[in-house]
Chain A
Amino acid sequence: MALRLTVNGQTHSLDIEADTPLLWVLRDELGLPGTKFGCGAGLCGACTVHLNGQPVRSCSTPVEMAAEGEVTTIEGLGRGDRLHALQQAWIDHGVPQCGYCQSGQIMSAAHLLSTNPSPDRDEIVAAMTGNLCRCGTYSRIIAAVESVVAGEKPAQEEA
């Protein structure tokens, strides 16, 4: 079955089973491995992407549900070489440890800020609570999000 899917602004036509999770289409068919597989059941948030502006767990979203839709992944979050403010904050705050969950964390935070540019601490925690981090980077995540909310300048421009 042929599906049309727009990912990070590029439209693709795919011949693939409709029940294939969006995650594996992104990773294996479209070569976008930044979105991670963690649990396959929507429990950990590592696979979070935006579908038509809403955060979804791509591991449990059949690709047919994304057909004709617009998907944004971690690879498409910035503009070209310019990082999203959250990505820069993640770097400045040294958020990642193993880093495996961080694409999903950033995508959840990006959705929060797109709907609520000045969330308070409780709102940040509530929005991020579906994203697990086994290394325990939660404090740095909150600090990074709050720095973007506060409009802090990046500590140092990345080359």
Chain B
Amino acid sequence: MAMNRRDFLKVGAGASGSLMLSLSLPGCSGLPTGYEEETGEWRPDAWLEITRDDRIYFTLARVEMGQGTYTGLTTLIAEELEVAPEAIEPRFAPVADEYKNPLYKLQLTGGSTSLATSWEPLRIAGASARELLIRAAAGVWRVDAAECSAGEGRIIHPNGLDSMRYGQLVELASKEILRGEVALKPAAEWKYIGKQNRRLDARAKSTGTAVYGIDVSLPDMVYAVITRSPRFGGKVQSFNGDEVRAMTGVLEVMEIDRGVAIVADRYWRARKAQDALKVQWDFSEALGLSTAEVFETYRKAAVEDAGESERSEGDTESVLANADKVVEAEYSQPYLAHATLEPMNATAWYRKDHMEVWAPTQAPDLGRIAVARVTDLAPDEVTINTTFLGGGFGRRLTQDYIEEAAAVAFRMDRPVKVIWSREEDTRHDLYRPAMLHRMKAGLNKGELSGWDHQIVGPQILNWYVRNAGPAQFPWTPRFLYDTLGTVGVWAEGLATPKDISAIEGAIDYPYQVANIDIRHTHIDPGVPITWWRSVGYSHNGFAVETFMDELAHEAGQDPYRFRRRLLEDEPRHREVLDRAARLGGWDTPVPEGRARGIALMRSFGTYVAQVVEAGFENGSIRVYRVAAAVDCGQVVNPAIVVDQIEGGILFGLTAALYGEITLERGEVQQSNFHDYPLLRHYERPEVEVEIVDSNETPTGVGEPGVPPVIPALGNALFALTGRRQRTLPLRAEA
């Protein structure tokens, strides 16, 4: 981050005369800081609170959905504050400007950015509190602060014998002033960064005590289930409300924007009543297409519109016209659901011009906008309480489930919990877009001379700005929300960051070729889409790394060495590629009936290469081993890095082997884990992960494990069968 450390420090006198130190990014929500006489709590900044009785609370502004922020970000604070990570109790952040993700200017968790964006600010927060405590102690002892040290929650006297607990010092520390830059610990003195391996949330999650959104319980709470249009965009025409309202336990049946809600005193009664609900839908504006038509539309668009140039070097057209050999291929990938194991849910309670919401959300400030949309409340009149998330993977960046709970709760005088069934979760997801890729490359005497990649499909921004625009400008009147969204799309690349969701993984093609042409033909069939773990890399990775394999084959070269020779100026790419090849035994004999495939992708700043060893068993594809090498800069928690890469590999394999959402006349055909399967225990390959030692700024690991495994598996199957699969999911019989 290019920001000067001083930029984070805002010092001013609090109302009580005590010193307030606010470590913040631009913008101010007026979060209270300083010392609270009555409770004995000291909040030196937006993140930390230390109490007289030595409790340390850390406000976690990046939600915990499995990726490890709860442990990793707490470790950053702990390191500088000189306490064990276990001594700190993380709390989920409320909505406030201080907690926004600086890359998006929204309070969201996504894009594998949590560690990278917290790396400096949180260590500075911990170090600042430590320095203030040291000064307070030095003042008491009348010694030089520079001679004092901190350790295990105490400030230690220069004599090495006397010490004071942090709790004893909080009131004095709150009156101290920090001038200039605070010194961060040198890497050689780290006790926890790079070494902490335990997860701080493991106990709660192994005893059933971690609270997810679906576990929220409130007095007099009632339950709502919602029947939504089976086709996207259908509208309620009529429904048998009176009949359903008469059923046991049913309190209310109401139409909301997204369908018909049944409110009952018990969840199961609401579900049973739903069986009796008959809704007449108006499909006049609904989507009626089938998956085959989506791809027909894409192919037509690809021919009619060459696409917007996203990267152009050299003269690809004439190089390809003159190449010895031109290789062409078309790749396609289906829509994919997120299938978080915790289905969508939210609990909302409307009381006197205020809505309080409890939800597993990746973007609580967008949640406030979702509530404001369907009520007459302003975003400031909405409180969002974030819980643990039973998986996110991008799904919980969209706040439709909060919108539903708010719409129902606004018309009830009791708290309402909306729970989606698995079938609803699968059929009313926002999907990883189906995509089409047209690739063309030239080979001259086995040398790659030109690379042409046309990406055909939608981009996500158009679906996202709806609530993201207003969340950036929460004082905007509600009637302008949609305008803001439209302006957001229009201002893409100017006021709004450029949306690279369709092209990431393609425009950053790392191989050395003088002639490159990468274009995006933007076409959106109208099926709801959003981010899905590794986003554009998930489909571009498959196209790029499979096509590289095809070219190696056409050039008669080893796929690993073909790539390696084109990476002379990319040492980090090459390093992970070499390590994966070594770890995966690339040059060793492969067991009978198996073959290996390799792939490489840098995503979200992290470099990952993988070697997959696969074959067939009982007519199915069997993945035996995956060897992965990863360079994510400085590692904070090695065990979590390994887990995220391995988890990403299994997530990618689920997509490669099974993932496919199809539409028939606008209706999603899949519903539950029997027809949208996830990889099971018995299908788990042996996974080995090797981490490159690095002092570079840390980059994220939540997503980068996913992209390479899909092409690496396809490449292994090609090596085994000689048949190239260019459509996902991969088939055993293909």
A residues lining the B interface (CB < 8 Å) = 16-17, 19-21, 24, 27-28, 31-41, 43-44, 46, 73-75, 78, 83, 87, 90-91, 94-103, 106, 125-126, 128-142, 158
Contact = CB atoms under 8 A, between A and B. Distances in A.
17 contacts: A19-B268, A20-B266, A27-B215, A31-B217, A34-B208, A35-B208, A41-B673, A44-B341, A83-B207, A94-B202, A95-B206, A134-B340, A134-B678, A135-B647, A136-B646, A139-B687, A142-B681
A78 B207 contact: yes
Interface stretch (B65-73, B90-98, B160-168, B235-243): B65-73
Lowest 5 CB-CB distances: which A-B pairs, in order?
Answer: A34-B208, A99-B205, A100-B390, A136-B650, A98-B66
Nearest to B266: A28
A137 B678 contact: no
Contact of B205 (A38, A73, A96): A96
Nearest to B204: A99
A97 B682 contact: no
Given A132-B680, A134-B678, 6 more contacts: A20-B268, A24-B268, A31-B217, A33-B215, A98-B341, A139-B646
Interface string B562-599: 00000000000000000000000000000000000000
Interface residues of B, number: 63
B341 A38 contact: yes
B70 to A, nearest CB: 10
Interface string B644-675: 10111111000000000000000000001110
A40 B205 contact: no
A126 B681 CA distance: 8
A137 B341 contact: no
B673 A39 contact: yes
Interface stretch (B184-192, B193-201, B325-333, B447-455): B193-201
Contact of A135 (B66, B212, B682): B66
B343 A37 contact: yes
B389 interface: yes
A94 B672 contact: no
A38 B681 contact: no
A100 B341 CA distance: 7
A46 B674 CA distance: 15
Contact of B672 (A41, A98, A126): A41
Nearest to A131: B681
Contacts of B684: 125, 138-139
Contacts of A128: 681
Contacts of A41: 422, 672-674
A75 B480 CA distance: 49
Given A87-B207, A132-B680, A99 B66 contact: yes
B639 interface: yes
B297 interface: no
A36 B214 contact: yes
Given A31-B217, A37-B214, A75-B208, A158 B203 contact: yes
B388 interface: yes
B111 interface: no
Contacts of A21: 268
B120 interface: no
Contacts, number: 171
Contacts of A139: 646, 684, 687
B341 A94 contact: no
B500 interface: no
Interface in B353-392: 388-392
Given A37-B214, A132-B673, A158-B203, A97 B422 contact: no
B294 to A, nearest CB: 26
B670 to A, nearest CB: 13
Nearest to B64: A98
A29 B673 CA distance: 27
Given A38-B422, A136-B679, A100 B342 contact: yes
B202 A95 contact: yes
Nearest to B640: A94
Given A28-B267, A98-B65, A103 B208 contact: yes
Contacts of A28: 217, 223, 266-267
B419 interface: yes
A132 B390 CA distance: 13
A38 B649 CA distance: 22
Contacts of B340: 98, 100, 134
B266 to A, nearest CB: 7
A90 B299 CA distance: 49
B650 A36 contact: no
B681 A138 contact: yes
B682 A126 contact: yes
B734 to A, nearest CB: 25
A21 B678 CA distance: 24
Contacts of A91: 198, 202-203, 206
Nearest to B649: A136
A38 B643 contact: no
Nearest to A122: B682
Contacts of B248: 17
B341 A34 contact: no
Contacts of B421: 40
B210 interface: yes
Contact of B201 (A31, A78, A99, A142): A99
Contacts of A133: 341
Contacts of B651: 134-136
A100 B360 CA distance: 12
B535 interface: no
Given A37-B214, A94-B198, A136-B650, A129 B206 contact: no
A137 B202 CA distance: 12
Contacts of A95: 202, 206
Interface in B408-465: 419, 421-423
B222 to A, nearest CB: 11
B391 A134 contact: yes
B661 to A, nearest CB: 16
B649 A96 contact: no
A129 B682 CA distance: 6
B199 A129 contact: no
Contact of A125 (B343, B390, B647, B682): B682
A31 B199 CA distance: 26
Among A17, A73, A126, A132, find the residue whose CB has the most chain B CB atoms closer than 10 A.
A132
Given A28-B266, A136-B648, A129 B390 contact: no
Nearest to A133: B341
Contacts of B650: 136, 138
Among B204, B209, B643, B678, find the residue whose CB has the most chain A CB atoms closer than 10 A.
B643
B634 to A, nearest CB: 20
Contacts of A87: 206-207
Contacts of B215: 27, 33
Interface string B123-159: 0000000000000000000000000000000000000
A99 B393 CA distance: 14
Contacts of B267: 24, 28
A155 B214 CA distance: 32
A99 B203 contact: no
B339 interface: yes
Contact of B206 (A31, A73, A90, A134): A90
Contacts of A131: 681
Given A44-B341, A94-B197, A129 B680 contact: yes
A124 to B, nearest CB: 8
